Amino acid sequence: MQKQTKTGSSATMVRDLTEGNVAKLLFTFAMPLFVANALQAVYNLVDMVVVGQVIGGPGMSAVSIGGDVLHLLTFLAMGFSSAGQVIIAQLVGAKRLDDVRRLIGTMFTFLLAVSLTIAVVCFLIRDPILNWLNTPAESYSYTMDYMVTCIVGLPFIYGYNIVSAILRGMGDSRRPFIFIAIAAVLNTVLDILFVAGMGMGAFGAALATVIGQGVSFIVSLVYLYKNKESFGFDFRPESFKVDSVMLQKLLALGIPMAIQSAAVSFSKIVLTAWINAEGMIYSALSGIYNKVGMMMAIVSNSFTTAGSSMVGQNLGAGKYERILKILRVVSITGITIATVISGLVLLFPQAMTEMFTSDAAVLAESSLIILPIILNFYGAATRAGAFAIINGSGNSRLNLLVALIDGMISRIGFAALLGFALHMGCQGFWYGDAIAGFMPMVIGGIFYLSGKWKK
């Protein structure tokens, strides 16, 4: 029955594409993804807004630096959970349920052990980390409070990603959305209570985030336990034994995905260290730049995923002539959204920065990030079409190459050229970051013109 439904769905997609309903299908796929991704991004964004309004520039700097560190530390969770999701889906399709059970147990033990190891190591070297990032003296204590609290909650993030990977691999994308919604709402409420109501500062913001993540993980784990029969995992101690064959499969697919996830995060950490060296004000502005850009990245990622699915299905059906139509709609949609948001930023630049803080010193320099933000919007918009053709064709090696070029070579290279060689300072770093965002479009365009995606 499931096979018939899937086939019917693919037939509907083929028919709708011939009728010119690409945009309708694209939005149907992309909107649930956008909402889920937006909720996941709410964590750090809410922290930034609440802390920025209550504490000002030093608090914003702390959340910006601490958030960047936390994002870098979760690259293994993102990479290996995505790999686990893919492998589970393949095993379910092959009806190898015993292998599914072995993989689930291996994922839990391996990734939770990794998260605990990272948490302990980072706690022990917490001072060198902040010193390497050139954390401004005004925000040092706030940053330490925020980062250490988030490090303690790292196993919750890894645990949630494990459970979500299991559910999505089994074909359930609705419940991970519910779990992340619970965490987002709880985080927002506790942020206001701890920071604005109880005056707990950056520590309160981080504590709210950790509690939200912890509750999300526990609720998802309880759901998995109550439905263990349908997942084929009995939660007995022996079921958590690491299976060498399953671990090898997880590592083989997870390591490239983890490297891809880490490449951009690491390059942004390097830029963060350079910007922090210029002082607290620029560190706070960098937080605004990253958080505003993150919202357009969510749009881009959502349409990338939707476009990849459509490209993949039509490549599988041999309908090569429809690929350009899909890429055109993905690109035009992204550029249109980027143009609308850019117009709002140009019309109301003060309102954008005042949403995050009322700190006069930060507001006085906020004009420095306006044009880099707009350039970043368009870079994100053009990435959607590029990754749709790369991911949709299943070219994982090219995807990894793009991540390395975009994340490591071009971002750090352009930022160093503009910021240091051309003496543009922090604004040069932001421009370098934004310009690097167009590299996927260049590589994806060459890949499309080469025609190799047909193979």
The pLDDT of 48-68, averaged and rounded, is 92
**Final residue in a domain of this structure, among 260, 293, 315:** 260
130 and 239 both lie in a single domain: yes
The per-residue pLDDT for 2 is: 36
Quote the pLDDT of residue 385. Answer: 92
Residue 182's Cβ-count burial label (10 Å; 0-12, 13-18, 19+) is middle
Q: Is 193 found in the same domain as 75? A: yes
pLDDT confidence tier of residue 308, bands split at 50, 70 and 90: confident
Output the pLDDT for position 44: 62
Q: Is the pLDDT of residue 5 over 60?
A: no
Check whether residue 34 and residue 65 sit in a common domain. no
Read off the pLDDT of residues 120-142 as tens digits, 9 standing for 90 and up: 999 999 999 999 999 999 999 99
At 298 the pLDDT is 85
In a domain? residue 254 = yes
pLDDT higher than 70, residue 398: yes
Rounded mean pLDDT, 154-172: 87
Q: Output the pLDDT for position 9.
A: 41
CA diameter of the chain: 64
Amino acid at 279: G
The number of residues in the chain equals 455
Domain boundary pick from 198, 227, 260: 260
Which domain covers residue 238, as residue numbers? 55-260
Higher pLDDT, 94 or 183: 183
**Structural domain includes residue 48:** no
**Are both 21 and 94 inside the same structural domain?**
no
Q: For 51-55, 288-292, 335-339, 398-402, which range has the lowest pLDDT when averaged over its residues?
A: 398-402
Per DSSP, the three-state class of 134 is: coil
Greater pLDDT, 377 or 454: 377
Residues in contact with 188: Cβ distance below 8 Å, sequence separation at least 6, in sequence order: 42, 46
User: What region does 96 belong to: left with phi over 0, alpha with psi -120 to 50, or beta?
Assistant: beta
Give yes or no: residues 249 and 366 share one domain: no
Q: How confident is the model at residue 7 (pLDDT cuts 50, 70, 90)?
A: very low
pLDDT(356) > 60 = yes
Between CA 224 and CA 235 the distance in angstroms is 10
Nearest Cα residue to 438 out of 395, 365, 385, 362: 385
Asked if the model's pLDDT at residue 365 lies above 90, the reply is yes
In-domain check, residue 228: yes
Reference 270, options 419, 374, 388, 387; nearest CA is: 419
With pLDDT > 70 as the criterion, what percentage of the chain qualifies?
93
Statement to judge: residues 355 and 422 lie in one domain: yes
pLDDT-based confidence at residue 15 (cuts at 50, 70, 90): very low
Q: Where are the alpha helices (DSSP H) in 96-173?
A: 97-124, 126-132, 140-152, 154-169
Percentage of the chain exceeding pLDDT 90: 56
- Work out how many domains the chain is built from and give that number: 2
Lowest mean pLDDT among 18-32, 256-270, 409-423: 18-32
Mean pLDDT of 108-121: 96
Q: Quick one: pLDDT at residue 319? A: 84
- 93 pLDDT above the threshold of 80: no
Question: Which tops the pLDDT comparison, 426 or 234?
Answer: 426
**pLDDT at residue number 20:** 53
Q: What is the pLDDT of residue 167?
A: 87
Question: What is the average pLDDT across 296-311?
Answer: 83
219 and 349 fall within a common domain = no
Q: 142 and 83, same structural domain?
A: yes
Domain boundary among 260, 289, 320: 260
- Using CA of residue 80, residue 81, residue 82, residue 88, what is the dihedral sign? positive
Q: Of the given ranges (62-71, 149-158, 388-397, 423-432), which has the lowest mean pLDDT?
A: 388-397
Q: What average pLDDT does the chain have?
A: 87
- Identify whether 292 is part of a domain: yes
Evaluate whether residue 49 is within a structural domain: no
Q: Does the pLDDT of residue 296 top 80, yes or no? A: yes
Query: Looking at residue 4, what is its pLDDT?
Result: 38
Q: Give the confidence band of 216 by pLDDT, cuts at 50, 70, 90.
A: very high
Residue pair 232/100 in contact (Cβ under 8 Å)? The answer is yes
* pLDDT greater at residue 419 or residue 172: 419
Distance CA 249, CA 428 (A): 42
CA angle 252, 258, 262 (to 5 degrees): 155
User: For residue 13, is pLDDT > 70?
Assistant: no
CA-CA-CA-CA torsion for 388, 389, 394, 398, nearest 10 degrees?
-100
- pLDDT for res 21: 74
Predicted model pTM: 0.84
> Looking at per-residue confidence, does 335 or 85 come out higher?
335
Distance between CA atoms of residues 194 and 314, nearest Å: 50
